[in-house]
Amino acid sequence: MATKVAVVTGSNKGIGFAIVRGLCKRFDGDVYLTSRDLNRGQNAVAELNKEGLRPKYHQLDITDPKSIEKFRDYLKENYGGIDILVNNAAIAFKVNAPDPIAVQAEQTLFVNYYSVLSTCEILFPILRNGARVINISSSCGHLSKIKSEKLRNRLKDPNLTIEGLSSMMQEYIDAAKQGTHAGDWGNSCYVVSKVAVTALTMVQQRMLADRDIKVNAVHPGYVDTDMTSHKGVLTIDEGAVAPLYIALDAPDSVKGQYVWKDKRIISWEGKLVDKD
């Protein structure tokens, strides 16, 4: 029987690192810590080795299709498929970043949406039956964060396709370049990117309806990481709780859902009560 395998993107630090730690403790198979930077990744593996944990390592830059394809070929040759895929890699500009919104929008959507999509398109064909995909979203990824009702209706349309979603994200980037984005989309490109990730989750689950694969979006909580400028109130291990639950413990009936930090399934389209 083939060895099971779990993959966590962008996992040399922060929530991704904690998810690898949790998987190493409980997952019955090999766990891959991945990172864009080889040295940082290997250092992260060494840290977990000190805890008696044995993650595997592979370099992976989700912004480079050739890097993803190289990793796919490696996994296919050595394992035959993937059992758990955690799409964690992401970026966020700081509040006081000097970059113009046009640059922030294009770069944030490139990494947080288009590169996640590319990763999925390349790796999904080798997902095994029974596989679980966890797309790390955010409280910012709730549909209510988008100002325009028209846009919200398009995003939650049950007939929305990946092509249509990608087209909407390009509309946002174009609007940001023209300075006309705020009225409809709001002022945060991070919000738009994470709403896109949650919407992508719903579309992907519909596309995989005829296979035994579960795709869910997870808000890990406001975690003390570099991304939050260490203002988060949760530890990275607390931030890994909900992703690990969806990866390892959630019933098979949980699919195409927006899951909160405390493991609750939240209505993506309904009123958002919790703020973090």
The residues annotated with a catalytic role in the active site are 190
**Separation between Cα atoms, residue 143 and residue 41, nearest integer Å:** 34
Crossing angle (nearest 10°) for helices 189-207 and 116-123: 20
CA angle 60, 111, 92 (to 5 degrees): 110
**Separation between Cα atoms, residue 55 and residue 77, nearest integer Å:** 19
Return the closest-CA partner of residue 76 out of 5, 158, 150. Answer: 5
Q: What residues contact residue 59 under an 8 Å CB cut-off, 6+ apart? A: 34, 35, 36, 38, 41, 67, 71
